Amino acid sequence: MTPAGSLLIATSLHKTYGHTPALEGADFSIHPGEVVAVMGPSGSGKSTLLHCLAGIVKPDSGSVHYNGRELTSLSDAERSGLRRGEFGFVFQFGQLVPELSCVENVALPLRLNGTRRKEAEARASAWMERLEVADVAHKRPGEVSGGQGQRVAVARSLVTGPRVLFADEPTGALDSLNGERVMELLTEAARESRTAVVLVTHEARVAAYSDREVVVRDGKARDMAGVR
Amino acid sequence: MSGHDAISGQDAPAEEPRPRVSVARWAADLAMGARFAVTGGRESWARTIMTAVGVGLGVALLLLASSVPTAYALRGERSDARAALGFQEDPKPGPDTIRLGQASTTYRDQDIDGLVMAPDGDSPPKPPGISHIPGPGQMWVSPALKKLLDSDDGELLRERFPYRTIGTISHDGLSGPSDLRYYAGLSHKTFDRGIADYRIDRWGTKNAGKPNPLDPALLLLIIVGCVVLLLPVVIFIATAARFGGERRDRRLAALRLVGADTHMTRRIAAGESLFGSLLGLAVGTALFLLGREIIGGVEVWGVSFFSSDIVPSTPLALAVAVAVPASAVIVTLVALRGIAIEPLGVVRNAAPKRRRLWWRLLLPLLGLALLLPLAGGFGSGSAGGDRKAYQAAAGAVLLLIGVTALLPWVVEAVVERFGGRGSVPWQLATRRLQLSSGTASRAVSGITVAVAGAIAIQMLFATVQDQNTERTGQDPHRAQLMANVPVADGAQARDAFARYRATKGVRDVLGVTEDYVSDVHRDKDDPSTYPEESLTVADCTSLREVIRITSCENGDVFLVDSPSYYGEGAGFAKPGAQVNLSFDDEGEPDLSRKKLWTIPASATKVKPRQDPTGGERTGIFATPGAFDVADLPDPRAVAMIRLDTSVPDATEYVRNASAVLSPTMDVMRLSSTSQSEEFTVIRKALFIGATATLLLIGASMIVTTLEQLRERKRLLSVLVAFGTRRTTLSWSVLWQTAIPVVLGLALSIAGGLALGVMLLKMVGQPLAVDWTGLATMTGVGGGVILLVTLVSLPPLWRMMRPEGLRTE
């Protein structure tokens, strides 16, 4: 697939941690509503690519264009603002604020954007219902199962209506049944709202939910569209 | 997902029956725990070191506190040994007597003790710390005084000591390393020139070493002060023993997976804590030894100790050595009580038990019950002094511990009422506190005790201060210095005033020269019954400061009636009356060699006026035109000096001028109030202690906060990933600290006022709240919290970095 019409395009990304190179000239692009799986062995640079694409980490060199804006030239505050409004995130673990109830966790990105509590929690409840976790709305993350917790996290990532959802091993800590349910709900919801999904995973089973696969190896990304 | 999250939600499983465990098993488990404290890599070491440093700081402070009685005793012994007390009757001059004169002075607010001396014979007694009595013009100085004299700062002081230094006074002649002291030799001829002297035949006194019984209010102040200062230290040690608790729990879960039972894991945890606290004991001892050396070189508010004086009392040191490791183990076991360590993770009770109020209320009530019977009965002379002191201490401890015990309950009860309303930072903070308020309460409890105690002390303090602060009657606006100049005759007095007037920094000198006169028109056998009156000679400017006159010209004489006469013939000093100026060696009117003067008929009666030193003079007041001051046979000259405040060191120039007039002359700085020495020392000690305690609490809170942040590093990174602003999390940290602090301060004000009221009742004083003290203490407590929050912000911001998301 060509970068033309892409929502997010990364070109020739380089990133080194200390003396260890994580990315060495990686390219990437994604279209609105597309689900792209980023695969690769452990330590290949998948997560670093995701962090660079999301503007969490600044690459040492290369460019990341989002909707016509160069992310690498934005300030920290501007990138944070972008993440709050346009991007959503799901991680493998440790992402829910333990002291807030599940519904408060889902409403948190809206509240950070200035939405009033009542409205934020109403929208959060709707998303929780959609992701089949409405019954745990008032429980704390420590009181729900791993699968439920991850669905709460997915609801939180989608509640702001992001244009891009970044999911880093979203099912890594779940059993296969729970993992599959989370993936079904996530991709279904994303496609309905035309949200692009960058899905980092090392499991082929999870990658199967994507439209396209990109393999990262030795810091370089290779589009597998033609291979598949 | 962590084991913690994965399986919580269930209740902790029922406790398994406790099997019989051999001592060897116990020892093996404890040893394993100790091994974990050091073999778990950097993280284990970090936790062990944090605990050791925390416990060590507490231990060092406890050891220092337990050294205070010995340090003061040793200091007191040396001061007693060098006491040169005059007796009512001086010993007759002989080979083993020495003639002394007090020559203490002050330099830039530092008191310098000094004696001038001249031996009467070949074997005079010598003060401790010197090898021989200095000859005329020679001087022994303390090391601190030598340092001062040799420094640029001491340049002005060098002029005051026209002696050659022949050596330094050794350790056994000094109260502390910062002791400023000298012994100078004078010739008998110099002594004879009007120097106030006395003789001794030995140094030291047996009686001086026995302190006078302290005022009950001061005693109470000290007892409560010690309780207030040491309780936070104990709380701090308990907090330090829990450092890194969450990570340790996860490690213990891994042990359960490989077959350790619940009791074993607890013993292993105890072993880990025990090791940390034993290491803490070692660190504490090292810090104590280091602190001892530092204290040896530091003077705080005029008090200093030699390092060798800082020796902990053996029973107290033993108590610290046993109680600290034991309490660390107990704290660990109590902390583990609310959780179950399971093979797949740590299960915290999903619905934590509500904190019970009854026993928390019982403690302060018990404290009040102990204090109440002492109301009005802690006064001096009351029976059962020791028992009452213990009762007061126990009551104060229970009341203050009660305040601390109430805090978690109050915090829990209050935050429970907060809904999810408010801003995101507020919501994050209140929800966090609702989930677990224990950690926050523990951190704040140290401050709460210190503030509650300090408020109570301030209340007692204000009352004691009123009792111990006396109005001197001096008026520092009219004159700033006063010097009693020893003079042989009136001409010397005139010269002395002229010298002061010519001194740099002196604006004006009010000089009065006084002598006594007696009635001459009585013919009695016993001259001692002759009434006497004082004759003061001064110029009009000076006279205006001591009597109420509207007009004055040179040549005028004024009369002020004494309010009461001890002899017969009151009011003999009348216009036209003759008076006798001659007195014999015994100070009796000399009738055989009368020196007569007639009070001019023009002398007018006036009222007295308080002079700048607060004294009121009566008798005859003559201007130099009416009476030549040189005719006063045995005068005393008093100079009241007005300084030019724009001249730096003006006071020191005056003191130097005085030293030229007489080596034993001191200049007094006039002040409207004076405080008892005893009171000042206690106040200083309390401030030193309070500062150290607050710093310790601050350090503990910083460690606890940083640890909490470290535990949440990944979560912070996730929050950053979805765009959370720094300010949002910074405010949440501030609220999270501020809520328990505000509640803690409110509780400490209530507890402090209750204790203060009890203490005032105990010493029978009227109730008075020292609002300034209360505001200061509350402010200091709040300031420490603000400081802790500020210090924790940079690490918080550092942890809000995306690096925390990396898992490889």
| Closest Cβ–Cβ partner in B350, B432, B715 for A94 | B715
Local confidence band at B7 (pLDDT 50, 70, 90 cut-offs)? very low
Token representation of residue B162? 């026209």
Local confidence band at B469 (pLDDT 50, 70, 90 cut-offs)? low
* Angle, in degrees to the nearest 10, between helices B41-81 and B262-296: 40
Nearest 10 degrees: CA dihedral of A102, A104, A110, A116?
150
Local confidence band at B3 (pLDDT 50, 70, 90 cut-offs)? very low
Highest mean pLDDT among A211-225, B123-137, B740-754 belongs to B123-137
Distance, in angstroms, between B798 CA and closest chain A CA? 14
Q: How far apart are CA B603 and CA B465, in angstroms?
A: 46
Contacts of A48 in chain B (CB under 8 A): 806
Contacts of B431 in chain A (CB under 8 A): 97, 99-101, 104
- Kindly provide the ipTM of the predicted complex, given to two decimals: 0.75
Q: How far apart are CA A53 and CA A34, in angstroms?
A: 15
Indicate whether B790 pLDDT > 60: yes
Q: Which of A112, A116, A200, A216 to mutate to test the interface with B (most CBs of B within 10 A)?
A: A112
* Angle, in degrees to the nearest 10, between helices A102-112 and B424-435: 160
Contact check, Cβ <8 Å, B725/A57? no
Q: Which of B525, B512, B630, B631 is nearest to B588 (CA)?
A: B525
Q: How far apart are CA B329 and CA A19, in angstroms?
A: 44
Which secondary-structure segment (H or E) carries A87?
Answer: strand A87-90
Task: Provide the residue type at B85 as one letter.
Answer: L
Which alpha helices (DSSP H) does B469-525 contain, by range?
490-501
Percentage of the residues of chain B whose pLDDT score is greater than 70: 79
Which secondary-structure segment (H or E) carries B438?
Answer: helix B438-468
Q: Identify the pLDDT of residue B536.
A: 92
The 10 Å Cβ neighbour count of residue B544 is: 15
- With beta carbons less than 8 A apart as the criterion, state whether B534 and B514 touch: yes
Percentage of the residues of chain A whose pLDDT score is greater than 90: 34
Asked which of B183-187, B472-476, B691-695, B748-752 is least confident by mean pLDDT, the reply is B691-695
The 10 Å Cβ neighbour count of residue B369 is: 13
Greater confidence (B198 vs B682) lies with B198
The 10 Å Cβ neighbour count of residue A219 is: 21
pLDDT tens digits for range B652-683: 999 999 888 888 887 888 776 665 565 666 66
Q: Is the dihedral of CA B252, B257, B259, B263 positive or negative?
A: positive
* Angle, in degrees to the nearest 10, between helices B771-799 and B713-721: 70
| Closest Cβ–Cβ partner in B8, B427, B723 for A84 | B723
| Closest Cβ–Cβ partner in A43, A54, A144 for B721 | A54
Contact check, Cβ <8 Å, B723/A149? no
Say whether B406 sits in a helix, a strand or coil. Answer: helix
| Closest chain B residue to A100, measured at CA | B431
Per DSSP, A96 falls in state: S
Indicate whether B573 pLDDT > 50: yes
Contacts 24+ apart (CB under 8 A), B294-297: B295/B64, B296/B177, B297/B177
pTM of the model: 0.60
Q: What is the mean pLDDT of residues A82-89?
A: 87
Task: Provide the residue type at A126 as one letter.
Answer: A
- With beta carbons less than 8 A apart as the criterion, state whether B408 and B376 touch: no
Residue ranges of chain B whose CB lies within 8 Å of a chain A CB: 1-2, 4-6, 8-9, 348, 350, 420-421, 424, 427-428, 431-432, 434-436, 714-715, 718-725, 728, 802, 805-808
Q: Is the dihedral of CA A144, A149, A151, A157 positive or negative?
A: positive
Residues in CB range of B179: below 8 A, 6 or more apart = B113, B142, B144, B304
Q: Identify the pLDDT of residue B300.
A: 61
Q: Is the dihedral of CA B649, B654, B658, B661 positive or negative?
A: positive
Distance, in angstroms, between B261 CA and closest chain A CA? 24
Local confidence band at B569 (pLDDT 50, 70, 90 cut-offs)? very low
Distance, in angstroms, between A12 CA and closest chain B CA? 21
Token representation of residue A76? 């920290």
Task: Provide the residue type at A74 as one letter.
Answer: L
Indicate whether B527 pLDDT > 80: no
β-pair partners for A38 = A200, A214
Q: How far apart are CA B749 and CA B776, in angstroms?
A: 12
Q: How far apart are CA B722 and CA A157, in angstroms?
A: 9
Q: How far apart are CA B730 and CA B796, in angstroms?
A: 8
Per DSSP, A28 falls in state: E
Q: What is the mean pLDDT of residues B599-624?
A: 88
Q: How far apart are CA A110 and CA A113, in angstroms?
A: 5
Q: Identify the pLDDT of residue B803.
A: 65
Contacts of A109 in chain B (CB under 8 A): 722-723
Contact check, Cβ <8 Å, A89/B427? no
Q: How far apart are CA B769 and CA B123, in angstroms?
A: 60
| Closest chain A residue to B429, measured at CA | A99
Local confidence band at A70 (pLDDT 50, 70, 90 cut-offs)? very high
Contact check, Cβ <8 Å, B348/A51? no
Q: How far apart are CA B531 and CA B522, in angstroms?
A: 10
Go through B408-428 and write b for each residue having 16 or more CB atoms within 10 A of its CB, e for each that does not.
Answer: bbbbbebbeebebeeebbbbb
Say whether B371 sits in a helix, a strand or coil. Answer: helix
Contacts of B424 in chain A (CB under 8 A): 108, 111-112
Cα distances (angstroms) measured from residue B528 to each of B519, B533, B650: 11, 13, 44
Token representation of residue B406? 């109430």
CB pairs under 8 A between A and B: 109
Q: How far apart are CA A1 and CA A212, in angstroms?
A: 9
| Closest Cβ–Cβ partner in A77, A80, A142 for B8 | A142
Q: Which of A76, A90, A95 to mutate to test the interface with B (most CBs of B within 10 A)?
A: A95
Task: Provide the residue type at B696 as one letter.
Answer: L
| Closest chain A residue to B712, measured at CA | A94
The 10 Å Cβ neighbour count of residue B206 is: 8
pLDDT tens digits for range A42-68: 888 888 899 899 888 889 999 999 988
Residue spans of beta strands (DSSP E) within B266-310: none
| Closest Cβ–Cβ partner in B350, B718, B725 for A80 | B725
pLDDT tens digits for range B43-66: 677 778 877 877 787 788 788 877
Contacts of B436 in chain A (CB under 8 A): 99
Furthest-apart CA pair in chain B: how many Å?
116
Q: Identify the pLDDT of residue A196.
A: 94
Contacts of A100 in chain B (CB under 8 A): 427-428, 431
| Closest Cβ–Cβ partner in B348, B424, B718 for A95 | B718
| Closest Cβ–Cβ partner in A56, A117, A146 for B6 | A146
| Closest chain A residue to B806, measured at CA | A47
> 3-state SS of chain B: helix, strand, coil percent to 5?
55, 15, 35
Q: Which of B593, B619, B622 is nearest to B608 (CA)?
A: B619
Token representation of residue B795? 């690490």
Per DSSP, B807 falls in state: -
Q: How far apart are CA B295 and CA B240, in angstroms?
A: 25
Indicate whether B129 pLDDT > 80: yes
pLDDT tens digits for range A99-121: 788 998 899 888 887 888 899 99
Contact check, Cβ <8 Å, B431/A111? no
pLDDT tens digits for range A14-49: 999 888 888 998 999 999 999 999 998 888 888 889
Indicate whether B219 pLDDT > 70: no
| Closest Cβ–Cβ partner in B1, B424, B806 for A112 | B424
Q: Identify the pLDDT of residue A36.
A: 94
| Closest chain A residue to B427, measured at CA | A100
* Domain residue extents for chain B: 1-82+211-353, 98-200, 368-470+676-808, 481-671
pLDDT tens digits for range B226-275: 677 667 767 766 766 666 666 677 677 767 766 677 778 888 888 888 88
Contact check, Cβ <8 Å, B2/A80? no
Q: How far apart are CA B469 and CA B683, in angstroms?
A: 13
Indicate whether A165 pLDDT > 90: yes
Q: Is the dihedral of CA B172, B173, B179, B180 positive or negative?
A: negative
Contacts of B728 in chain A (CB under 8 A): 112
Q: How far apart are CA B530 and CA A30, in angstroms?
A: 120
Q: Identify the pLDDT of residue A65.
A: 93
Token representation of residue B582? 């001659």
Q: Identify the pLDDT of residue B218.
A: 60
Q: Identify the pLDDT of residue B716.
A: 82
| Closest chain B residue to A139, measured at CA | B9
> CA-based Rg of chain A, rounded to a whole angstrom?
17
Q: Identify the pLDDT of residue B614.
A: 80
Q: What is the mean pLDDT of residues A146-168?
A: 90
| Closest chain A residue to B435, measured at CA | A99
Furthest-apart CA pair in chain A: how many Å?
49
Contact check, Cβ <8 Å, A146/B348? no
Local confidence band at B461 (pLDDT 50, 70, 90 cut-offs)? confident
Contact check, Cβ <8 Å, A56/B805? yes
Q: Identify the pLDDT of residue A227.
A: 42
Highest mean pLDDT among A128-142, B737-751, B791-805 belongs to A128-142
Q: Identify the pLDDT of residue A56.
A: 83
Q: Identify the pLDDT of residue A67.
A: 86
Q: Identify the pLDDT of residue B661.
A: 85
Residue spans of beta strands (DSSP E) within B553-627: 557-560, 578-580, 596-598, 604-605, 607-608, 619-622
Local confidence band at B9 (pLDDT 50, 70, 90 cut-offs)? very low
Go through B268-298 and write b for each residue having 16 or more CB atoms within 10 A of its CB, e for each that does not.
Answer: bbbbbbbbbbbbbbebbbebbeebbeebbee
Q: Is the dihedral of CA B748, B750, B753, B755 positive or negative?
A: negative
Indicate whether B505 pLDDT > 60: yes
Q: Which of B537, B478, B528 is nearest to B508 (CA)?
A: B478
Cα distances (angstroms) measured from residue B186 to each of B99, B162, B183, B192: 9, 11, 10, 10
Distance, in angstroms, between A144 CA and closest chain B CA? 7
Distance, in angstroms, between A160 CA and closest chain B CA? 11
Q: Which of A93, A13, A83 is nearest to A52 (CA)?
A: A13
Contact check, Cβ <8 Å, B5/A89? no
Q: Identify the pLDDT of residue B21.
A: 67
pLDDT tens digits for range B471-484: 767 777 888 888 88
Contact check, Cβ <8 Å, B9/A93? no
pLDDT, chain B, mean: 79
CA atoms within a 13 Å half-sphere pointing along the CA-CB vector of A9: 13
Cα distances (angstroms) measured from residue B739 to each of B791, B796, B802: 18, 19, 29
